[in-house]
Structure 1
Amino acid sequence: MTFFRQTIAPFLIVLIFIVALVAVSARIFLPSDMAQPAPIKEMSGVPSQILPS
Protein backbone atom coordinates (compact mmCIF):
# COMPACT_ATOMS: atom_id res chain seq x y z
CA MET A 1 0.00 0.00 0.00
CA THR A 2 2.90 2.35 0.68
CA PHE A 3 4.24 1.84 -2.84
CA PHE A 4 0.89 2.87 -4.29
CA ARG A 5 0.58 5.90 -2.01
CA GLN A 6 4.13 7.16 -2.60
CA THR A 7 4.64 6.28 -6.27
CA ILE A 8 1.54 5.48 -8.28
CA ALA A 9 -0.96 7.96 -6.79
CA PRO A 10 1.27 11.05 -7.26
CA PHE A 11 2.10 9.88 -10.78
CA LEU A 12 -1.60 9.59 -11.64
CA ILE A 13 -2.32 13.05 -10.21
CA VAL A 14 0.51 14.62 -12.20
CA LEU A 15 -0.56 12.74 -15.33
CA ILE A 16 -4.15 14.00 -15.03
CA PHE A 17 -2.87 17.55 -14.51
CA ILE A 18 -0.64 17.34 -17.60
CA VAL A 19 -3.47 15.98 -19.76
CA ALA A 20 -5.76 18.80 -18.59
CA LEU A 21 -3.04 21.38 -19.23
CA VAL A 22 -2.45 20.08 -22.75
CA ALA A 23 -6.19 20.05 -23.49
CA VAL A 24 -6.59 23.67 -22.38
CA SER A 25 -3.40 24.83 -24.09
CA ALA A 26 -4.36 23.18 -27.38
CA ARG A 27 -6.82 26.01 -28.03
CA ILE A 28 -3.86 28.24 -28.91
CA PHE A 29 -3.11 26.14 -31.98
CA LEU A 30 -6.70 25.87 -33.23
CA PRO A 31 -7.87 28.11 -36.07
CA SER A 32 -9.44 31.27 -34.69
CA ASP A 33 -12.95 30.28 -35.69
CA MET A 34 -12.67 26.96 -33.82
CA ALA A 35 -11.24 28.47 -30.62
CA GLN A 36 -14.49 30.28 -29.86
CA PRO A 37 -17.26 28.71 -27.80
CA ALA A 38 -19.92 26.87 -29.76
CA PRO A 39 -22.88 29.03 -30.76
CA ILE A 40 -26.08 28.49 -28.84
CA LYS A 41 -29.10 28.05 -31.09
CA GLU A 42 -32.69 27.64 -29.98
CA MET A 43 -33.78 24.06 -30.48
CA SER A 44 -36.84 23.53 -32.64
CA GLY A 45 -39.63 21.47 -31.15
CA VAL A 46 -38.71 22.27 -27.55
CA PRO A 47 -41.08 24.62 -25.70
CA SER A 48 -39.46 27.84 -24.56
CA GLN A 49 -40.44 27.13 -20.93
CA ILE A 50 -37.91 24.28 -20.79
CA LEU A 51 -34.97 26.24 -22.19
CA PRO A 52 -33.23 28.65 -19.81
CA SER A 53 -33.41 32.27 -20.89
Structure 2
Amino acid sequence: MTFLRQYIAPLMIVLVFAFALLAVSIRIFLPNDLAAPAPIEEINAASVQLPASDAVESSIPNE
Protein backbone atom coordinates (compact mmCIF):
# COMPACT_ATOMS: atom_id res chain seq x y z
CA MET A 1 0.00 0.00 0.00
CA THR A 2 2.85 2.39 0.74
CA PHE A 3 4.27 1.68 -2.73
CA LEU A 4 1.00 2.90 -4.27
CA ARG A 5 0.92 5.96 -2.04
CA GLN A 6 4.57 6.91 -2.56
CA TYR A 7 5.10 6.12 -6.24
CA ILE A 8 1.93 5.36 -8.20
CA ALA A 9 -0.39 8.11 -6.88
CA PRO A 10 2.10 10.97 -7.47
CA LEU A 11 2.93 9.52 -10.90
CA MET A 12 -0.77 9.45 -11.82
CA ILE A 13 -1.19 13.06 -10.67
CA VAL A 14 1.78 14.18 -12.76
CA LEU A 15 0.53 12.23 -15.80
CA VAL A 16 -2.96 13.77 -15.55
CA PHE A 17 -1.45 17.26 -15.24
CA ALA A 18 0.86 16.62 -18.21
CA PHE A 19 -2.05 15.36 -20.33
CA ALA A 20 -4.13 18.43 -19.46
CA LEU A 21 -1.20 20.71 -20.29
CA LEU A 22 -0.69 18.93 -23.60
CA ALA A 23 -4.40 19.14 -24.47
CA VAL A 24 -4.47 22.89 -23.81
CA SER A 25 -1.16 23.57 -25.55
CA ILE A 26 -2.04 21.65 -28.71
CA ARG A 27 -4.20 24.61 -29.81
CA ILE A 28 -0.99 26.37 -30.90
CA PHE A 29 -0.60 23.87 -33.72
CA LEU A 30 -4.19 23.98 -34.96
CA PRO A 31 -5.06 26.00 -38.06
CA ASN A 32 -6.19 29.52 -37.22
CA ASP A 33 -9.81 28.87 -38.08
CA LEU A 34 -9.97 25.90 -35.69
CA ALA A 35 -8.18 27.64 -32.82
CA ALA A 36 -10.72 30.48 -32.67
CA PRO A 37 -13.60 30.34 -30.21
CA ALA A 38 -16.89 29.01 -31.50
CA PRO A 39 -19.11 31.69 -33.05
CA ILE A 40 -22.14 32.80 -31.09
CA GLU A 41 -25.32 33.26 -33.06
CA GLU A 42 -27.55 36.18 -32.22
CA ILE A 43 -30.88 35.19 -30.74
CA ASN A 44 -33.86 36.02 -32.90
CA ALA A 45 -36.94 36.82 -30.79
CA ALA A 46 -39.19 35.01 -33.27
CA SER A 47 -37.23 31.75 -32.94
CA VAL A 48 -37.26 31.64 -29.13
CA GLN A 49 -39.75 29.15 -27.73
CA LEU A 50 -41.00 29.87 -24.24
CA PRO A 51 -41.98 26.95 -22.00
CA ALA A 52 -45.64 26.42 -21.23
CA SER A 53 -46.75 27.98 -17.95
CA ASP A 54 -47.88 24.63 -16.52
CA ALA A 55 -44.44 23.13 -17.19
CA VAL A 56 -42.79 25.95 -15.26
CA GLU A 57 -45.20 25.61 -12.34
CA SER A 58 -44.69 21.86 -12.10
CA SER A 59 -40.91 22.26 -11.95
CA ILE A 60 -41.09 24.52 -8.86
CA PRO A 61 -40.85 22.41 -5.68
CA ASN A 62 -43.55 22.94 -3.06
CA GLU A 63 -42.33 23.91 0.37
Superposed pair shares fold, TM > 0.5? yes
TM-score range, shorter chain: 0.7 to 0.9
- Alpha-carbon RMSD across the aligned residues, in angstroms, is 1.8
Q: Distance in 2 between matches of 1:46 and 1:12?
A: 46
Q: Percent identity, please.
A: 63
Question: Is 1:31 aligned with 2:47?
Answer: no
1:1-53 correspondence to structure 2 within 5 Å? 1-41=1-41, 42=43, 44=47, 46-47=49-50
Q: What are the ranges of 5 or more consecutive residues in structure 2 without an aligned counterpart?
A: 51-63
2:16 is matched by which residue type in structure 1? I
Q: Distance in 2 between matches of 1:45 and 1:34?
A: 29
Q: Distance in 2 between matches of 1:8 and 1:34?
A: 36
Runs of 4+ in 1 over 6 A off after TM superposition: none
What TM-score, normalized to structure 2? Answer: 0.63
1:8 is matched by which residue type in structure 2? I
Shift of residue 38 of structure 1? 0.9
The structure that has the greater radius of gyration is: 2
User: 1:50 maps to which residue?
Assistant: none
